[in-house]
């Protein structure tokens, strides 16, 4: 919200977003596959000072109705490895922060 002192702040979040590329090498295809993430954060402005914090969250797992790009092996089938305990999903996070002034 803005006020007379020039203060503005808000929080933001995205829907689940797929990155627009797929790894080009075999080892990274098997390591990362295609992946989607959520982006969220906050923005604050006070006078000419701004502060932006962006966070990204991704869960590595088997994605229903997707498949390996090279073999065509469906994630619906490979997901059984997680059920058996042979594969574990995990969450990764990334952050970016900026503080500065605007002119």
Reported as a pLDDT band with limits 50, 70 and 90, residue 9 is very high
pLDDT of residue 48: 86
Task: Give the model confidence (pLDDT) of 30-82 as tens digits.
Answer: 766 666 788 899 999 988 899 999 998 887 777 778 777 778 888 888 788 88
Q: For residue 18, give Cα distances in angstroms to 54, 59, 66, 68, 75.
A: 17, 12, 12, 15, 16
Query: Is the pLDDT assigned to residue 97 strictly greater than 80?
Result: yes
pLDDT of residue 1: 47
């Amino acid at each position: 919200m803005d006020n007379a002192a020039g203060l503005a702040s808000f929080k933001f979040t995205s829907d689940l977003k797929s990155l627009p590329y797929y790894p080009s090498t075999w080892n990274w295809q098997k390591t990362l596959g295609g992946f989607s993430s959520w982006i969220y954060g906050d923005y604050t402005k006070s006078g000419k000072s701004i502060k932006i914090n962006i966070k990204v969250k991704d869960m590595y797992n088997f994605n229903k109705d997707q498949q390996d790009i090279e073999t065509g092996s469906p994630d619906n089938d490979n997901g059984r490895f997680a059920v058996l305990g042979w594969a574990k999903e995990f969450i990764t996070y990334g952050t970016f922060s900026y503080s500065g002034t605007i002119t």
